[in-house]
Structure 1
């Protein structure tokens, strides 16, 4: 969720000079109930839309086809629709800056005197998978109001499940990384803080029935086997490990513990984007961190040691998670037309997958 543009500045930091105001065609994309008599948009919504600043530059490395010109993003229909939906659930919301306009629309602003970030699904009627994940994130935030986890996360302000809109506290801080697979990882101290926050979350036991199991392991293994990413032997080895983990207690995980989903705030790490939170085999978050921290061998060693500290079952669960995470990343990035930097990433992912396969075979041999 938090791209480079989203790292909010502390309240005491001087504001940057505002860019040209957002130019809007009257009435397009606004809810009819938010119009004044005569068909014009209400003064509150129109005034708020004009205050949106230009979004910050896109990340230096982006997947082909995702970059947008700031002017085009400002004029997109999904931004206008998002403003109308936000106004329904938070009449006091005043937009200040457009942070992102891709699959999700992110708008920074204020609700009263409170700095907030509004998140909306760009095309909820067309993106059924995105709707399910967004609604899961809203349900997670509502559950966290009643059952507070032992990690910092943005406080819920308001939400609309039907229209996929979420209004959250804007936390001062910066993303731990600006790319999914960063070339520069955080400092050792920051890594320790992030890993400590993840471990604290993994040890948390929310009440039964509040969260489900987002990942069907047997089905995922079969899917990657059908796609040709797993061999017959890989599938057999993973199924053997799964059989031995049949009675292993599951662990509560963030489910998308990328460094881009961690804000480094003055008070410590803050986890955002809870679309995939739920129960997993132990070590899922650690496996994801291990995958995206290829540039930090010390951090990888630390994550592996933590995963194996609980014994053989903990090691086996970590390896199953690691294989599935690596297969997902390979499928996500190994696409036609990849540039040189992406081809280097794909090669590295295949090397990591080969290393994980050898570890799985060794684990099966010791059972």
Structure 2
């Protein structure tokens, strides 16, 4: 997993060992538990059908402006119209930004609805939260957390209007925190992956561009008070310890490393730097889904990328070298982040009734977690 220079007995900071390492699990298939529609035309998916025109006028071709049948919002026909959540989302989009014209359904799952369209001549994407209108007393805990995360994402895009980060991201068009609607510039390109744990990773040049974009973002220092700290590390360690994912020794080792990192400056991170949250545009990677953005211990985004790039040994080696290049404290922070990220992924995927592909993924995550534990224990031993 790590080159020798990532271990606590490493050479001085800045010196990188060329020794290779092997990630666990190889290039086994991965699955994403979230249902998605089959991709169509770039990163769009299901095409909305046009409504027949009145009075014998020929039917409007696909990808032209859809007519509006009622003042409440755009009308859709076929299977899309039979989805109450989609009808409610389109109505909320129309109230938030009346100039929006829907053209294509990108995604509809249990959490979000994404609809591509235009605002005048500008291509935009509307993102809506499903079931945001449920009364608070009836809403589940997950629904309330989803609404809070959606509002955090809106706040992040509004902050980026005033303070532009060095990474590319879509421009904000309009937003409504009450209706949980977000309209963004649509970036031409394709996702770096459509899976959380991809079987096939991007090309080496694309991976280098992604790492470059993430590292530039991590060096950015937005004004104080603009973003908060989304992750409580002490609470995360206690939670995974209570769930049985961390042993007593694991929890003690992490607490000891966190004690040594108490005065380490936080780093601005995307917070959800998965390949599926990156669009490979002609001008370079574009980061989307900023709901987890904020201040973390150094290396959190790198730990996420290391976890999902299991099929790319060279990328993992490069990430490990970057994580240790600045010295012992950044290396320890990366190890803390990595073990907690792996615990989260295990909790997400290691569920009863998993299929064969998911069992392969779970086995690989356990192998990676075992290597991370050894690295954490070695780091503690040098303190």
Name the TM tier (shorter chain): 0.7 to 0.9
1:94 aligns with 2:101: yes
Instruction: For residues 88-146 of structure 1, give each alpha carbon's deviation from its aligned partner in whole angstroms, at most 9, with x where no partner exists.
Output: 11111110111111110110111111100000000113310000000000000000000
- 1:80 aligned residue (80, 83, 87): 87
Is the alpha carbon distance of 1:179 and 1:17 closer, same or farther for their aligned partners in structure 2, counting shifts above 3 Å? closer
Q: Residue 201 of structure 1 corresponds to which residue in structure 2?
A: 217
Is the alpha carbon distance of 1:173 and 1:3 closer, same or farther for their aligned partners in structure 2, counting shifts above 3 Å? farther
Indicate if the aligned counterparts of 1:8 and 1:172 stay in contact, CA closer than 8 A. Answer: no
Give the TM-score of the pair, scaled to structure 2: 0.81
Give runs of aligned pairs for residues 1-367 of structure 1, distance below 5 A. Answer: 9=42, 20-21=49-50, 43=70, 48-50=74-76, 71=79, 74-102=81-109, 103-124=111-132, 125=134, 126=139, 127-367=143-383
Give me the CA root mean square deviation: 2.3
Measure the CA separation in 2 of the matches of 1:108 and 1:2. Answer: 19
Measure the CA separation in 2 of the matches of 1:44 and 1:265. Answer: 36
Unmatched 5+ stretches in structure 1: 24-40, 55-70
Is the alpha carbon distance of 1:283 and 1:4 closer, same or farther for their aligned partners in structure 2, counting shifts above 3 Å? farther
Higher share in helix: 1
What secondary structure sits across from 2:331 in the alignment? Answer: helix
Unmatched 5+ stretches in structure 2: 1-33, 53-67
Cα shift at 1:74: 4.7
Measure the CA separation in 1 of the matches of 2:40 and 2:300. Answer: 26
What secondary structure sits across from 2:75 in the alignment? Answer: helix
Measure the CA separation in 2 of the matches of 1:175 and 1:74. Answer: 27
Measure the CA separation in 2 of the matches of 1:111 and 1:8. Answer: 20
Indicate if the aligned counterparts of 1:22 and 1:75 stay in contact, CA closer than 8 A. Answer: no
Is the alpha carbon distance of 1:92 and 1:43 closer, same or farther for their aligned partners in structure 2, counting shifts above 3 Å? same
Cα shift at 1:49: 2.7
Give the TM-score of the pair, scaled to structure 1: 0.84
Indicate if the aligned counterparts of 1:2 and 1:175 stay in contact, CA closer than 8 A. Answer: no
- Name which structure has the greater RCO, CA cutoff 8 Å, separation 6+: 2
Cα shift at 1:18: 5.9
Number of positions where the alignment pairs a residue of Structure 1 with one of Structure 2: 326
Indicate if the aligned counterparts of 1:4 and 1:175 stay in contact, CA closer than 8 A. Answer: no
Cα shift at 1:9: 4.4
What secondary structure sits across from 1:288 in the alignment? Answer: helix
Q: Residue 60 of structure 1 corresponds to which residue in structure 2?
A: none
